[in-house]
Chain A
Amino acid sequence: AQSVTQLDSHVSVSEGTPVLLRCNYSSSYSPSLFWYVQHPNKGLQLLLKYTSAATLVKGINGFEAEFKKSETSFHLTKPSAHMSDAAEYFCVVRTTDSWGKLQFGAGTQVVVTP
């Protein structure tokens, strides 16, 4: 079965400093992986997705993630945090059943301080 584990439930960064959100996956096959962001009282928005084309994936708002098969990781990074990055972030894996359900991680709340 496919699953993801987000290693930090809460991350606090200062504005202008790098952001690192850690995600490990478990999958018997080459996984499809996603990062979604949820701002307060909003729905989820896709940040980026990994589909085996390239291991370094660039997303919206300056975020990127690197797929590392040897470490079974898909960590999300941004070089310089902005106040608007304060949100909940979800690492997601698509299952390999016939309809490809998405399995969500538990989420990481990002707090950005001035």
Chain B
Amino acid sequence: DTAVSQTPKYLVTQMGNDKSIKCEQNLGHDTMYWYKQDSKKFLKIMFSYNNKELIINETVPNRFSPKSPDKAHLNLHINSLELGDSAVYFCASRSTGGRNSPLHFGNGTRLTVT
């Protein structure tokens, strides 16, 4: 199936640990994103990569480090996890060829830090 897929779906870990979330899209898009959705459902962009280059880097703690090995993959590594990092993280992609091309979202990774 053509899709944006992210793993794992659920991630439960303790404070201080380091964890990674992976994302892959097979839609042929050139731009990928990480969004964070908090407990109130508010969605905020964290990062965006275009053809493996970082183009958007919002005010995110430097414990969060995205990596894009190729334009079909965008991974998110989080160091020294804190309670406030608990959220649902969504990967998304789009083609920047069309100005109004929509985002395609993965199903999310629910991160719980205890």
Q: Which residues of A approach B to under 8 Å, CB–CB?
A: 32, 34, 36, 38, 41-46, 49, 51, 88, 90, 94, 99-102, 104, 106-107, 109
Q: Which residue of A lies closest to B43 (CB)?
A: A104
Interface positions, chain B 96-114, Cβ under 8 Å from A, are: 96, 99-100, 102-108
Contacts of A42 in B (CB 8 A): 107-108
Q: Which of A32, A51, A106 contacts B41 (CB 8 A)?
A: A106
Contacts of A32 in B (CB 8 A): 99-100
Contacts of A107 in B (CB 8 A): 41-43
Whether the pair A102, B45 counts as a contact (CB closer than 8 A) is yes
* B56 at interface by CB-CB < 8 Å: yes
The smallest C-beta distance from A11 to any residue of chain B, in angstroms, reads 14
Contacts of A43 in B (CB 8 A): 4, 90, 105-108
Contacts of A38 in B (CB 8 A): 41
Contacts of A41 in B (CB 8 A): 107-108
* Chain B count of residues within 8 A CB distance of the other chain: 24
Q: Which residues of B approach A to under 8 Å, CB–CB?
A: 4, 31, 40-45, 48, 50, 55-56, 90, 92, 96, 99-100, 102-108
Contacts of B90 in A (CB 8 A): 43-44
Whether the pair B99, A100 counts as a contact (CB closer than 8 A) is yes
Contacts of A104 in B (CB 8 A): 42-44
